[in-house]
């Protein structure tokens, strides 16, 4: 009988221990659930400030700006053109120009100016193309445009001087060449231009001085323009009665002007004068 009672006590204790274990697991599960709920609420509340205003952006995935888009927008704001074709356009224009295809060069250069509207280099190239193509009116327009954009650029003065000389607008030519000399004191083109204009208006003494300076710089630079400068200087000396100096210049370049009848007649006259002196 006593033994039976002991067995019943043991069974009762086992039942209590099992029940206690189940209760403990249930409490643990409830605790973990509460922690999870608390964490979710914390995360949700983090999108709000103290006033309860939602601070999250909620940007749809397809509206998120990529780095490349940001770069593109930035470049547009800064005036930078992606895949700028203008360098190749200018390169092709220069090729056309130096191969005598002036109309094609002009069209390309005008296209280039759409990308670089302040490029005096392109303006001068257009003016040069018109000039070489025999259209001095448009050449003058473009060289003036370049000069108005940048008055320190020597090229417009040089070619405007040429254009005005050819049009017999000698005072305008003198103004252009004088400006060129002021900008570039060692540019022989300005002195040559002035010497040429004064030669044309029969002011040979003035022409002599400017042409002498031009020749010095041409020789210094080993320029082919020295030949034409020698020709004009020889004429200046000839028409001022300095036959020996005229002969020294003209005889040096006569092989370059075999078809020039005026030069041939002048040299014949000079040789006869020198024979009479001797």
pLDDT band at 15 (very low <50, low <70, confident <90, very high): low
Sign of CA dihedral 37, 42, 43, 44: positive
* Domain harbouring 155, CATH code: 1.25.40.10
In the predicted model, what is the mean pLDDT of the chain?
81
**Has residue 146 been placed in a domain?**
yes
56 closest CA partner among 64, 66, 45, 41 = 45
**Has residue 242 been placed in a domain?**
yes
Q: Tokens 């092989």, residue?
A: 255
pLDDT per position as a tens digit, 218-240: 999 999 999 999 999 999 999 99
Q: Are 111 and 96 in contact (CB under 8 A)?
A: no
Q: Does the pLDDT value for residue 261 go beyond 70?
A: yes
The predicted pLDDT at position 8 comes to: 54
Q: Does the pLDDT value for residue 7 go beyond 60?
A: no
Q: In this structure, what token pair is assigned to residue 215?
A: 């020749």
Range of the domain at 130: 83-159
The predicted pLDDT at position 119 comes to: 95
**Has residue 142 been placed in a domain?**
yes
The residue among 125, 159, 193 that closes a domain is 159
**Has residue 169 been placed in a domain?**
no
Q: Are 97 and 66 in contact (CB under 8 A)?
A: no
**Has residue 7 been placed in a domain?**
no
**Has residue 182 been placed in a domain?**
no
Q: Strand pairing partners for 54?
A: 48
* Domain harbouring 262, CATH code: 1.25.40
Q: Tokens 């259209």, residue?
A: 135
Lowest-confidence region among 53-62, 85-94, 146-155, 215-224: 53-62
The residue among 116, 140, 159 that closes a domain is 159
The predicted pLDDT at position 29 comes to: 52
Q: Does the pLDDT value for residue 4 go beyond 90?
A: no
Lowest-confidence region among 64-68, 104-108, 130-134: 64-68
Q: In this structure, what token pair is assigned to residue 49?
A: 């400030």
The residue among 141, 159, 177 that closes a domain is 159
pLDDT band at 197 (very low <50, low <70, confident <90, very high): very high
**Has residue 188 been placed in a domain?**
no
The larger pLDDT score, comparing residue 268 to residue 20, is at 268
The predicted pLDDT at position 277 comes to: 85
Q: Does the pLDDT value for residue 81 go beyond 70?
A: no
The larger pLDDT score, comparing residue 252 to residue 31, is at 252
**Has residue 17 been placed in a domain?**
no
The predicted pLDDT at position 83 comes to: 74
Q: Tokens 């998120």, residue?
A: 64
Domain count, the chain: 2
pLDDT band at 70 (very low <50, low <70, confident <90, very high): very low
């Amino acid at each position: 009988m006593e033994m039976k009672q002991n067995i019943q006590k043991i069974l009762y204790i086992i039942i209590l221990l099992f029940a206690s274990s189940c209760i403990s697991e249930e409490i643990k599960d409830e605790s973990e659930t509460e922690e999870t709920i608390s964490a979710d609420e914390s995360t949700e509340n983090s999108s709000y400030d103290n006033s309860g205003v939602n601070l999250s952006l909620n940007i749809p995935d397809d509206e998120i700006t990529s780095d490349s888009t940001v770069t593109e927008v930035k470049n547009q704001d800064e005036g930078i053109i992606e895949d700028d074709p203008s360098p190749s356009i200018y390169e092709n224009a220069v090729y056309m120009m130096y191969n005598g295809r002036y109309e094609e060069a002009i069209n390309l250069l005008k296209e280039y100016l759409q990308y670089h509207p302040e490029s005096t280099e392109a303006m001068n190239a257009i003016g040069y193309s018109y000039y070489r193509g025999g259209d001095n009116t448009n050449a003058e327009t473009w060289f003036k445009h370049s000069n108005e954009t940048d008055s320190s650029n020597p090229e417009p003065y040089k070619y405007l001087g040429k254009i005005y000389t050819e049009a017999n607008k000698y005072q305008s030519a003198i103004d252009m060449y004088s400006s060129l000399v002021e900008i570039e004191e060692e540019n022989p083109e300005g002195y040559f231009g002035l010497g040429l204009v004064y030669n044309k208006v029969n002011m040979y003494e003035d022409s002599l001085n400017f042409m002498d300076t031009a020749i010095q710089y041409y020789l210094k630079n080993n320029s082919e323009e020295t030949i034409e400068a020698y020709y004009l200087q020889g004429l200046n000396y000839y028409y001022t009665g300095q036959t020996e100096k005229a002969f020294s210049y003209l005889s040096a370049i006569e092989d370059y002007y075999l078809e020039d009848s005026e030069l041939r007649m002048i040299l014949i006259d000079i040789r006869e004068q020198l024979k009479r002196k001797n």
